Structure 1
Amino acid sequence: MRALVINCTLKPSPQDSNTHALASVVLDALRGHGVEVDEVRAVDFDIKPGVESDMGPGDQWPPILEKVLAARILVVASPTWLGRPSSVAQRVLERLDALIAQTDDDGVPIAYNRVAGVVVTGNEDGAHHVISEITGALGDIGYTIPGQAWTYWHLGPGPGADYLDDDRGHAWAHKTGRAMAANLVGVARALDARPLSAPPE
């Protein structure tokens, strides 16, 4: 089983990313369940605006989409800015929208029988809003969202320290991240055993 994290930080590599740091806890937990994991920092690529799988010359989304389709588990990791997902996260979700119209040879929507979760960081309030926006979009696309398929780290309202600069709340965020990983794997295995079929006409 494979998992992919799409890190939607605004910080290009090799800058430190708070979102990567917390997502790494989930990745390590997934490895502990025997899952092969990979991470893509979306801002490092020229992902063209649009809702198609390939937006033409210069679009660097298609190789990322190949990784998405090779993974049974997708984690979208985003910082919170102005109480909302990052602009990079929105761009990624818009590109994933193309999956809604795609099916396999049996007519099953391509995102069915895949699971997804969310990792959120930020030094301002809004984690639950970010989680709900991203999971809502992924559910529309066809992903199954297990119970408690998220973790986050925020210090509360107003500006403050970053995840990498403050140890407060780490124990809870890490525990929740490990639970998230277990729930993602459990539901992914259940779907492998009893996959969803094509919707009725």
Structure 2
Amino acid sequence: MTRPIIAILRGITPPEAVAVAKALIGAGVTTIEVPLNSPDAFDSIARLVAECGNDAKIGAGTVLTPAEVEQVAANGGRLVVSPNCDPTVIRATRAARMESFPGIMTPTEAFAALDAGATGLKLFPGELVGPVGLKAIRAVLPEDAACYAVGGVNSDTLGEWLKAGVSGIGVGSGLYRPGDAPETVAERAEGLVRLWDEHKAD
């Protein structure tokens, strides 16, 4: 069962990346993003693709330029996530046959992203817009537009986000903080997956 949960491994290093990713996959989180402002991010992505690419979708976050998109593709990534809405990055990502999740906060940005070919929308920072803001934006978007909330999503707020129409979530420090042991990450991921499944079953 594939759940729309993106694990954001900000700050992870290449030597620890595979063990943490395998912990996430074992817990049921199978979409993994390494932000490019992490140490040797492309090395981590290449290792994850080699070791976990058959079991998880591996990609990059904080992607800001078409040149970075090319590097993600060259290292086998399948997912590009950005904090902003840059149509050139979105088009480059789609041309490279990867999924594109640009950051948006307004309807204007949302439609610009979709027009450029975005796979889905990353509502960021989620805590600023909140479930109420998402619900308002959702009202004008195409019904099939995938909206992921990133920032401000945790066990206490997940239910509100789902009621507001969120399609998926991206979680960073709620799953991984630099230096965390794989066992710690697995425990958090298992809890998040269990909570997601409980809410979706209601």
TM-score by length of 1: 0.37
Please, what TM-score do these two structures have when normalized by structure 2?
0.37
